[in-house]
A and B are shown apart, each in its own frame.
Chain A
Amino acid sequence: MSPRARTATKVGLELAVPVLLLVAWQLWSVSNDDPKFPRLSSILVEFRHMWLFSQFHEQVLPSLERIAAGFTIGVVAGVALGVPIGLFRWSRIWATPHIEWWRNMPPPALLPITVILLHSIGDRQKIGFIGFFCLFPVLLNTIDGVRGIEPTLMETARSYGVSWWEAVRRIVLPGALPQIIAGMRTSLSLAVITMVLAEYFSSTNGVGYVLLISKNTFQLTPMWATIVLIGALGYGLNLLFALWERRVLAWHRGWRATTAE
């Protein structure tokens, strides 16, 4: 099988099941005619009407901006905290209970308090909320990645008089990067979840806000169209991330292949 044919088969397989499900949905919803489950065709018409692109600018862009800002804050803070915690045993002893406490906190439990603590029901509160929950997967993976750095490599750096900061930059960060990226991937889907949650709770625009309005006005077709949009958003972001990861971690795949022998 040629590489092109193989790619085509892979994409075909990936699409086959969703397409079948959608066809089933359409057939079932046509025969059933239940307002709770609008026809797929109606949902798609509504989707096009709402999101391509009349309300995109007004409702989707703010959500994407919040995801971007919250995710960035979470990743930067996670790496910045994770590196020292991973490097020093005493800081791990100190930090572990705090991390274990907060990382198991369900996001909705903290929604009200963020409004009060951040004096905001606007972007500041939403970005802070998203950032906080994006922090933990990155933090935990960074700690693990830093602890897994080859000791011989650190010893080599030390024997050459490489400074602490230089070693962090040249050895610790790139060495922990595969793990950091694994954490970022988890954080990215958390960012979408917490974005919708925060907007649903208090907002004047955004995807979550549209969901809330649709619910309050019993508009089920727009609600389904929005659910489709959120799914597509998560899928698309993950796809972009995977493409970026492929490029950044090309060395890691090659190296793993040689050490696996």
Chain B
Amino acid sequence: MLEIHSLGKVYGSGERATHAIGDVSFSVDERELVCVVGPSGCGKTTLLKCAAGLMRPTSGEILLRGQAVTSPPEEMALVFQEYSRSLMPWTSVRNNVLLPLRHKDLTRAERARLVEEAVEAVGLTRFLDRYPWELSGGMQQRVAIARALAYQPSILLMDEPFASVDAQTRADLEDLVLQLRDEFDVTILFVTHDIDESVYLSDRVVVLTHAPTEVKEVVHVDLPGARDQIETKELAEFARLRAHVYRLIKREQTEEAGTSPGGRGEPLTAIDGGSGVSVEEDRSLPETADRTRRG
């Protein structure tokens, strides 16, 4: 559905040029939830802004259903990390969610219905006529999610959406995202710096290298059953995947700190159009002894 082809982004030019993104390729399939993780400062947000059509890449291209993305596509919605800044403080939750619908070709009643459905889906019906700043951080992010859903996107891009909420709220919001994905039938590209979160949410995790960013590995997450904050995280498979992603990123960080610029150690795993090497094929991983569920 969403294909990113050898995306590159350079800020500035000449000697002062910063190569934020080197060469990134991966794809997101219909109804898939793909998380992008990487060491801090690896250009995750830049990548997402390019994918959202808010920023022009220096090289490469982004295709949404085969169409090149050059400006924000209509079937795409974006949720930012800074909920308090992406909501309008001068108007109600209702009007905030209504904002992207005003220019859509809908009747008044249809707009009102979409707003109310989306707000209900995130469990904030009681707060429709409150100002966003009257709500807690987690609730404000729910408003931002409701606004994205009301827009009726087929793909949702989320930029570290839960980075500034507390752990408990974060867990609730993660489950909300999984639930909404089924309910609203959306594809999700989710950027995070939290490894647990990425493994918990994803069908696949795209692990990035440090800048100039490339795809280090695409990890397939094949966890059984519906995700559950307690049970899923108890699975040996979860622990193994988490450790694997963690090692990949840690290796990146030590490489960046330890080596001279230019030489970046071992060559990267070859990626072909996003269907990367799955963890199962990676022989370097230690087998985890306990593969059964400790319910």
A and B interact: yes
Chain A residues close to B by CB (< 8 Å): 150, 152-153, 155-163, 166, 170-171, 174-175, 177, 251-252, 254-255, 258-259
Which secondary structure characterizes the binding site on chain A?
helix
16 A-B residue contacts at CB 8 Å?
Answer: A150-B86, A153-B87, A159-B72, A160-B72, A160-B78, A161-B72, A170-B88, A170-B99, A170-B102, A174-B90, A251-B90, A252-B89, A254-B134, A255-B133, A258-B134, A259-B84
Interface pair B80/A156, CB less than 8 Å apart: yes
Evaluate contact between A159 and B134: CB separation under 8 angstroms. Answer: no
Of A155, A163, A166, A171, the contact of B54 (CB 8 Å cutoff)? A155
Q: Is the CB of B86 within 8 A of A152?
A: yes
Q: Do B85 and A153 touch across chains, with their CB atoms under 8 A apart?
A: yes
A152's partner among B53, B77, B85, B134 (CB-CB below 8 A) is B85
Judged by a CB distance under 8 angstroms, whether B52 is at the interface is: yes
Q: Is B102 in contact with A162, judged by CB distance below 8 angstroms?
A: yes
> Lowest 8 A-B CB distances belong to which pairs?
A160-B100, A152-B85, A255-B89, A159-B78, A159-B72, A258-B133, A156-B86, A174-B90
Interface centre among A155, A252, A254 (most CB of B within 10 A): A155
- B90 contact from A156, A162, A166, A175, Cβ within 8 A: A175
Residue of A at shortest CB range from B78?
A159
Most chain A C-beta atoms within 10 Å of own C-beta, residue among B82, B85, B99, B151: B99
* Residue pair B133, A153 in contact (C-beta under 8 Å): no
CB atoms of B91 and A162 under 8 A apart: no
Chain B residues with Cβ below 8 Å from A158 are 54, 72
Q: Is B127 an interface residue (CB 8 A)?
A: no
Cross-chain contact A251 with B131 (CB below 8 angstroms): yes
- Contact call B103/A159, Cβ cutoff below 8 A: no
List chain A residues, Cβ under 8 A from B100. 160-162
Are A175 and B133 CB-contacts (below 8 A) given A156-B80, A158-B54, A160-B151?
A: no
State in angstroms the CA–CA spacing of A162 and B78 once bound together. Answer: 13
